[in-house]
Amino acid sequence: MLRWIRQQLGFDPPHQSETRTIYVANRFPQHGHYVPQRFADNRIISSKYTIWNFVPKNLFEQFRRIANFYFLIIFLVQLMIDTPTSPVTSGLPLFFVITVTAIKQGYEDWLRHKADNEVNGAPVFVVRSGSLVQTRSKNIRVGDIVRVAKDETFPVDLVLLSSDREDGTCHITTASLDGETNLKTHYSVAETAVCQSVSQLEALQAVVECQQPEADLYRFVGRITVTQHGEEIVRPLGPENLLLRGARLKNTKEIFGVAVYTGMESKMALNYKCKSQKRSAVEKSMNTFLIIYLGILLFEAILSTILKYAWQAEDKWDEPFYNQKTEQERNSSPILKFISDFLAFLVLYNFIIPISLYVTVEMQKFLGSFFIGWDLDLYHEESDQKAQVNTSDLNEELGQVEYVFTDKTGTLTENEMQFRECSINGTKYREVNGKLIPEGMTDDSPDGSTPHLIGDELLFVKAVSLCHTVQISYDQPDCLVGGGDPFSHANGFSSTHMEYYASSPDEKALVEAAKRIGVAFTCCNGDTMEIKTFGKSERYKLLHVLEFDANRRRMSVILQTPSGGTVLFTKGAESAVLPFATGGEIEKTRLHVDEFALKGLRTLVVACRHFSPEEYDDVDRRLNAARTALQQREERLQEAFSYIEKDLQLLGATGVEDKLQDKVQETIEALRLAGIKVWVLTGDKHETAVSVSLSCGHFHRTMNILELLQQRSDNECAEQLRILARRIKEDHVIQHGLVVDGASLSLALREHEKLFMEVCKNCSAVLCCRMAPLQKAKVVRLLKTSPEKPITLAIGDGANDVSMIQEAHVGIGIMGKEGRQAVRNSDYAIARFKFLAKLLLVHGHFYYIRIATLVQYFFYKNVCFITPQFLYQFFCLFSQQTLYDSVYLTLYNICFTSLPILIYSLFEQLVHPHVLQNKPGLYRDISKNSLLSFRTFLYWTLLGFCHAFVFFFGSYILMGEDTTLMGNGQMFGNWTFGTLVFTVMVITVTLKLALETHFWTWMNHFVTWGSIAFYFIFSLFYGGIIWPFLHTQDMYFVFVQLLSSGSAWFAIIIIVITCLFPDVVKKVFYRHLQPTSTQKSQPRSRSLVSCQQSVSNFCRREI
């Protein structure tokens, strides 16, 4: 029990060793004192709260807000000492704010719990006690044998034991992990592959030893020991044996695997970052402003307390005849009296800190977030998906983005490849109607009329049709991509019932193209590959597959031809194949590859090598020795591959187009014009990533592309960074682009962050390739924590993007074809990358200007509210007498002035949405939190003080010197004076907001004039009745008397005009002499559409 408690507190982590030992089917050794290792359960937790910690954790987070904590202190002070106002005036608004916020955040977390429960409660089948038992995903334990059927996702990280195939292989897609929708092949060891029934698995005696959980998706080191007939057989395990949680089983009826990593220890979960509370730049500015206003409050309270005691230094004011002190008051401590008076003044002026600001901001964010979901421009009709908001706290942050970090596959591209061109023996060809047509010829030319290929052309197409790891499915005749059969041609065969699955989208596109041309890959059964060349069947024996890896950047197959010869076919990146070619049209092919790349095509070079029987025997021996090595297996395989893949005969090259999503290039260009830098972070190969960056406009042809690739040491990396920094300074090029790979990035971030950041900031576009998920998050954090503190946005579609989505200030998930991890963990979700432009340039712009004005206006109207109260103390001997009635104190922010600013913050538009999209440069006007700068804040604060002085002294001058204002000669009292000041204030602050409003709707008119009318009606009703539950009737008939005075009406009009006229003059002056880009666009925007059309366009609901 003590050990368990220590583990829960984090003092005694469960994993003490570097490896874990897993007994398959949890068949633990019976002899000795075996103590099983403790492993995590299989629950996935993405939620933030539990039912036990919600109240304390949520209260802690809310009271981190300065205003909430401040009002809690004020409320406690009001409870403890005798203050001028009731504790209800502070306690009720505070309770309302805390409750509304807690309900909102609790609801959002409940949605996360609901999603988690769906995952954790999913039904799964495990082998227990000799039978197949159905249970829930969360009940899977490490060591359980799990059965997964076709098209199901893996509920844990599994080591593959067997499949329905004789060779023990299975095929999976990892769309939710790395965005790739293509098929990948995984293997089981021969000793377990034969265990295809539950009874055989129950009898299996095996132990898996592997490393402890780590986040790297592509690394797994272990071994399995199988006991057969008393003999222990040890086999190595690698990434090809591990099935990751979140991947999906395809083209395989069922598999059995043993659970090795469960729950939050699975590789997918380890690549999630802990959810942290994201706070927008506006909220941080609000906290800064609140601290300043807290300083103003303390200054006013201290000054009032000091002046009170200075005034009471004279006996006649200390104890006047009409207010004699009690004996207890005379004997009380001066220090305690000073503190008590200070706290009383603090309570009297506390309304300068606007707690209702947070309520209004929460409501504005919550209600405003619906506009994103209602916007039909963000609705994707093909997939029937609308934009969704998972966190409304960051709406205004969409208008402050400076860096966008985007995934490539599935985010910028559709991940759909199409064969375009090829180069064969130095001649370029293109595909036209299922035929290869040489450059310069047309389909109807004599040379292009025959479908048959000869010589080099035929060998090239055969190489493309055989050099791959593509699998074939025959049982899905209606599931062909696009709903049709692109392979049925007059070339002698039909493929209606056949579908290809590949580990690479390029491979699938090339095999499909070869089939259209006439060389069809028709069968792969164990070690046999069959193709049909224009209807004639040919069988090849598959001897070896030299798998693709990131270092070699090529893959090969060794085949025995129908004639008995042995041939090696190789395909890979240009830089990985051409250096090893000794024959063929090398230079011509190199030029063609460059031409393909300039068109944005993904290029592969194809070559071959023929072996004599003696050479093949040597190759076979080397490969078998390397593959069975238990020590340094990877290094020995690399040596063997290098020995085999040399002296190549170059056959040609291919050009495949990765289809970009619609309007990606226009979107990236719009973001660039808006001053936003775009970084592409992808796990793809260098060449692929660069070609897509060029085709989508991320890199321009005129850019100077800098490279930081394949750095092996810290010193080498630092030297290369210095060279790049010098080149940027010396090259007189307007724009630079940087390409960096994952390995070099790790070195750069280790000790050379500052130098790396200097290079990056001078580049217009940055491309990071071969990135692990946590590396993506590290790059985002690097920018986020740099001295400039830029606002970052990350967008992706796969589970490998979750870490960077959670790390960035704003995270956006793309609703991809498979997998919802990115969407579940994002702040916003959209169906296509192109929607990002409107989300930022329109919605972000509107949200920011609305909330910026809301924040400034709230501080302004509260300064107007409390400053007359402070000035009034100079005229009442600092007796802490209130200027306003307590009902007016409570309702000022809740009723009289709340709705106009709320409606403004929901509907205001400085310019029309079409103009914002057509002129991305307008986004720069609001960048770097410009509308909440200290200068703007100071302007609104000083304006509030000026208006407050005009309210107070304007009313005082009118009523001072015993002026008779009533028709019967009576004079006004102090409550009438306070009510006059309050009336002028309500009218002025409401009309001030009306001056700030550019976009008038019927709702703006209703709440603006309705708020003023409501104040008058309420005051007449409140002062016209004697309320039995009130202790005093100070306001009885006061408002009626005030309105019956013509002089009071004259004063109200004069004071309001005096306050607002200078503001009108200033606006006209600045608009004509120093207009901003936004103001220049306003007249044009008004002529585009009418006000009514704009409202319907922006606020329309989904049909």
CA distance to 177, 416, 748, 750, 805, per residue, from 778 (Å) = 18, 29, 12, 11, 11
Active site residue 167: no
CA distance 504 to 301: 71
Contact of 925 with 1077, CB cutoff 8 Å: yes
Q: Considering the candidates 407, 741, 801, 885, report the single residue annotated as catalytic.
A: 407
Whose structure tokens read 């000054």? Answer: 303
Q: What share of the chain is helix, strand, coil (3-state, %, to 5)?
A: 50, 20, 30
**Which residues are within 8 A (CB) of 211 and not within 5 positions of it... i.e. 6 or more apart?**
18, 19, 20, 220, 221, 222
Which of 512, 515, 554, 520 has its CA nearest to residue 536? 520
Alpha helical stretches, state H, 873-959: 886-891, 898-907, 913-918, 934-959
CA distance to 849, 901, 1003, 1063, per residue, from 855 (Å) = 10, 10, 21, 19
Which of 1079, 1084, 1102 has its CA nearest to residue 849? 1079
Q: Over 823-847, what HEC string results?
A: HHCCCEEECCCCHHHHHHHHHHHHH
**Count of CB atoms within 10 A of residue 327's CB?**
7
Taking the CA atoms of residue 933, residue 938, residue 941 and residue 944 in that order, the dihedral angle to the nearest 10 degrees is -120
Element (H, E) at 617: helix 613-627
CA atoms within 13 A on the CB side of 985: 34
CA distance 914 to 1098: 10
CA distance 8 to 490: 68
Contact of 775 with 745, CB cutoff 8 Å: yes
Q: Over 974-1010, what HEC string results?
A: HHHHHHHHHHHHHHHHHHHHHHHCCCCCHHHHHHHHH
CA distance to 221, 598, 644, per residue, from 633 (Å) = 11, 39, 17
> Tokens at residue 334, please?
């001066």
Residue 33 amino acid letter: H
Find residue 146's DSSP bridge partners. Answer: 126, 257
Alpha helical stretches, state H, 369-417: 370-374
Contact of 750 with 778, CB cutoff 8 Å: no
Pairing status of strand 828-830 against strand 810-814: parallel
Q: Which residues are catalytic, by number?
A: 407
